[in-house]
Structure 1
Amino acid sequence: MTSAITRFLTFSDEIILNICSYLRPIDVLHSFTRLNRRLNKIIAQYRKECLIISDLSYSRFLSLSEWTIPSIGSQIRSLLLNTKHSLNLLKILNEKIEFDELFVNIEHLFLILIDQNDNDEIDILLSKVERLQMLCELDIVTCKDSISLDTVSDQLIKVSIKSSLDQGISIHLSMYTIKDLVVTLKDVTNLIDILNSFTNLRRLHVTILPIHLQNSIKNVQKNSFDIIRSKPSEYLVDFHLKIDSIDLSFTDLRTLINPMTSLKILSVVLRANDGNYLVDEQWIDWLSDFSTINQISLFNSNKK
């Protein structure tokens, strides 16, 4: 009796795609790219979806970087690169791949760069990221305490830069097309710099992690606030501030937020000893000038 043999290519496109759904996209691309025209067509969607490079061994990533990634890089629109648990991944990437020349059509880039031994390699990679002309969204989680970016893309509108450690980041950006910004900062001075520089922001979510008292808002020069007043954030509609390392006075908060003339959503999490936060008349007097606000939340994290 002869048993029937079912060959892989006898499956319908739908069944092959269903099989692929159980695999990581990077494995699908590595296994089926350039085998034949039919398979190339079937897995074409994987080149447009998010390519995830994460949790790879040294030898595995070395193999991918020499053949698979170079063969599909120009077709990738979204990329997630996670260096956690992947020893020397960034070093291989920087040595084997011209990132900005290969991923020329990247629109959405997510970088998880949390190995403190990779700081130099992170800087090399970010210098290449700056040259991605089609980039629309950039999301970075990093162990570095300082980030400086100056991108050539005029389409970049959404940026998130967060710390993987219990610390703020000194952030310097030259990306004036940004409309949506999420950042973890070291101090209020950096926040003021951002408000001065990015007057077209629509959404700004800021977390200021524990810092030394000498860097608090009490020691920010008064003319810094005057600069904010001269450059109102007239397009900002959503502002979230989490800052529990500074005793922010009610007056300081008003000074910080008053230039946000179009604000609709305000959320503040802070540590406050100022009794004015508990005086209804103070809020009524202040918010009467903000007819645009339709959602406000305030949480006092002070612990006595």
Structure 2
Amino acid sequence: MITTIEYLPDEILLIICNYLSQYHIIHAFFNLNDRLNSTISQYYNSLIVDHNVYRELLPIIGSYLQSLTIKDISLKSHEISFASNIQELTFDKQHPHSIPSLVNLTDLNIINAPSTNLTDVLFLTNNNIHSIYISSQTPLTISTTKISKIKQLGVTLKSLDDCISLFSICPELTCLNLHLLDCSFKNIPKQINEPSNLQIFSLRTNYETNVDFNTIKNIFQYLPSQLEYLGIEIITLDRECVNGQTWENYLQEKFPNLIRLDFFIYLRPELPTNTETRRLPSILKTFQNDYWSSITPQHITGYYDRSYQGESISIHTEPAPIVRRRRYFLN
């Protein structure tokens, strides 16, 4: 009897695939029969186009793709259209100049974007896009009065003023993952549009920025009371930011519906260095009660960081907070 590769068990075929590139797997096995298609399905559900060789795969597997990443290469609109059923589209080091109308596209990611304002992506005509994540060294500039229907957004903004403006142009936001470069504010209007649909909010600040507890309250005052999920990653000199009782009193009053809190708080050493250092066990003890056990994933832990500047303390929820992730959803 003549033995062919089709007689091999699926497990052996997958081991063979481990030694091949996605390009060669598709050209060798795709569309030979239903069994092989099912066996290698993981290799044609997503595609990273970072070379002209992988560009050739788009007409072959485009209609089967669920996600497409375009990295270091420019694709025209009609080429992206081959991926007619994708749900997620990612541009890495590329500006999304032309995004075709894709009926199933819901998630758009722009990573390491060029130094160009990307505000226009909030107003794409692709009606089904509801989630956008933008990672860029240049903060998004909010200087428009147009209205966006985006529901989930991850973005870097320069100041709190821009955040308030964002709430005005994105009234349907349910999730905002915010990297804020400057926590001060100058021109916030007396009347603002509260993001009434917002359920999930995460805040990350720069390492150089000192965020005290009053600053936190200034930012959070513009968030709706029905917030359910909160993520925080801050650097501070303020000991109140590592006081569980202070947080508890504020959160219970401001966000009575909060069901989950993730945080990473880095307390820098105070000057002069002979100031009495608050010990980690006493800090963690302020977070040990029924309230904290009900809104944190597991438990709260921390560690010391000793340097020539003194002794810093970090406390965080465990597992590690997910503030830097592209998006997250309530369970």
What TM-score, normalized to structure 2?
0.63
* Alignment of 1:268 onto 2:264: no
* Alignment of 1:140 onto 2:137: no
Q: Mark the CA change 1:272 to 1:39 in structure 2 (over 3 Å): closer, same or farther.
A: closer
Q: Deviations over 1:126-162 (max 9, x none)?
A: 1222643421112221142332313222222332211
Contact 1:132 1:152 in 2 (8 A): no
Q: Name the structure 1 match of 2:184.
A: 218
Residues in 2 aligned to 1:175 and 1:23: alpha-carbon distance in whole angstroms: 47
* Alignment of 1:181 onto 2:153: yes
* Partner SS, residue 98 of structure 2: helix
Q: Name the structure 2 match of 1:237.
A: 199
1:107 equivalent among 87, 108, 119: 87
1:74 equivalent among 55, 58, 63: 63
Q: Name the structure 1 match of 2:273.
A: none
2:52 equivalent among 44, 62, 73: 62
Residues in 2 aligned to 1:101 and 1:175: alpha-carbon distance in whole angstroms: 26
Within 5 Å, which residues of 2 pair with 1:83-94? 83=72, 89-90=73-74, 93-94=75-76
Q: Deviations over 1:148-206 (max 9, x none)?
A: 3132222223322113xxx3422569784433322233333332222222233232221
* Partner SS, residue 98 of structure 1: helix
How big is the shift at 1:51?
1.8
Q: Name the structure 2 match of 1:7.
A: 4
* Partner SS, residue 169 of structure 1: coil
2:249 equivalent among 284, 296, 300: 284
Contact 2:10 2:39 in 1 (8 A): no
How big is the shift at 1:46?
4.7
How big is the shift at 1:221?
0.7
Contact 2:23 2:53 in 1 (8 A): no
Q: CA RMSD in A?
A: 3.7
Contact 2:242 2:267 in 1 (8 A): no
Q: Percent identity?
A: 20
Residues in 1 aligned to 2:11 and 2:268: alpha-carbon distance in whole angstroms: 57
Unaligned 5+ runs, structure 1: 55-60, 84-88, 114-121, 210-215
* Partner SS, residue 234 of structure 1: coil
Within 5 Å, which residues of 2 pair with 1:116-265? 122-123=94-95, 126-129=96-99, 131-145=101-115, 146-148=117-119, 149=121, 150-163=123-136, 167-170=137-140, 176-209=148-181, 216-223=182-189, 226-228=190-192, 231-244=193-206, 245-248=208-211, 250-258=213-221, 259-265=223-229
Residues in 2 aligned to 1:64 and 1:48: alpha-carbon distance in whole angstroms: 12
* Partner SS, residue 27 of structure 2: helix
Residues in 2 aligned to 1:175 and 1:27: alpha-carbon distance in whole angstroms: 45
Q: Deviations over 1:192-226 (max 9, x none)?
A: 222222233232221234xxxxxx44342131xx3
Contact 2:229 2:260 in 1 (8 A): yes
Equivalent position amino acid for 2:82 in 1? L
Q: Deviations over 1:91-133 (max 9, x none)?
A: xx34xx72343222221123322xxxxxxxx33xx12226434
Contact 1:48 1:76 in 2 (8 A): yes
Residues in 2 aligned to 1:70 and 1:237: alpha-carbon distance in whole angstroms: 40
Residues in 2 aligned to 1:265 and 1:136: alpha-carbon distance in whole angstroms: 22
Q: Mark the CA change 1:26 to 1:266 in structure 2 (over 3 Å): closer, same or farther.
A: same
What TM-score, normalized to structure 1?
0.68
Contact 2:81 2:100 in 1 (8 A): no
Q: Mark the CA change 1:198 to 1:129 in structure 2 (over 3 Å): closer, same or farther.
A: same
Equivalent position amino acid for 1:111 in 2? F
